[in-house]
Amino acid sequence: MATLILTRHGQSLWNAANRFTGWVDVPLSERGRAEATIASTKLRDYQVSVCFTSMLIRAIETTVIILTECDEICGGRIPIMKHQEDDKDWHGWDKYDGNPDGELPIYTSSFLDERYYGDLQGKNKAEIAEKYGAEQVQIWRRSYSEAPPGGESLENTRERVLPFFTSRIMTHVTQGDNVLVSAHGNSLRAIMMHLDQLSPEEVVKLELGTAVPIVYEIDGQGIVQSKEVLSA
């Protein structure tokens, strides 16, 4: 049995401003950092072996806060960001002759990034609802297959996220590693659709609070044995 912990990032500055964020790289708000700290205290009884986040700073910040506010989660290991060697901008300066057993690796991947909101990115949600109608905006936000103008649908997001999740993340889980994934509302919906065997109609109704850990216990065959939402 292994533990898989999923958490949406804490509140970002654009969440607080009611703006569509998508792939815009906006940091956490003060409240978001506090939410991540609270998530860390909720997870103090868990030890993780490896972490995955999106490439966006709000998910990375959330991961780092969770891992560093309560030392028990790391089990005495030091969190280390693991840059991708196939990234053309990666310079390789982070190589060192150290002790890998003392590290807790954090892998970043664009496959875990939030759904791309296209032309809506940066726009105020209330103003967009006034312009296009609340019903149309709700379809763009919560429909499974309909994408906002120039953006991704949840179905598109699932097609991007799921291969990475099954090949990279679940490989660790099925070999017994406890894994923390810090990502976004829609990339996590894609993962939970798979884990919880949700239909398209069910997944669009799934609401994820900011920095609320969801803990799965999964066996060596990748079958979910239990699930717990660590809400307040």
CATH number of the domain where residue 190 is located? 3.40.50.1240
Consecutive 10-residue runs of the chain (232 residues): their mean pLDDT? 97 96 97 97 96 97 97 93 68 70 92 96 94 92 93 97 97 97 97 97 94 97 96 76
The pTM of the full predicted model, rounded to 2 decimals, is 0.94
Using CA of residue 49, residue 186, residue 117, residue 59, what is the dihedral sign?
negative
Find where tokens 């690796």 sit: 105
β strands within the chain, DSSP E:
2-8, 50-53, 78-82, 103-108, 179-183, 214-218, 224-229
Choice among 9, 35, 152, 184 that is catalytic: 9
For residue 46, the model assigns a pLDDT of: 96
Concerning whether 9 is annotated as a catalytic residue, the answer is: yes
For residue 155, the model assigns a pLDDT of: 97
Number of domains in the chain: 1
The Cα angle at residue 209 between residues 208 and 215, in degrees rounded to 5: 70
Distances (CA, A) of 123 to 12, 19, 71, 115, 143: 15, 5, 39, 15, 19
For residue 88, the model assigns a pLDDT of: 59
Concerning whether 172 is annotated as a catalytic residue, the answer is: no
- Which tokens in the block code for residue 131? 């312009």
For residue 97, the model assigns a pLDDT of: 72
State which residues form the domain around 102: 2-229
For residue 83, the model assigns a pLDDT of: 74
Choice among 61, 114, 152, 184 that is catalytic: 114
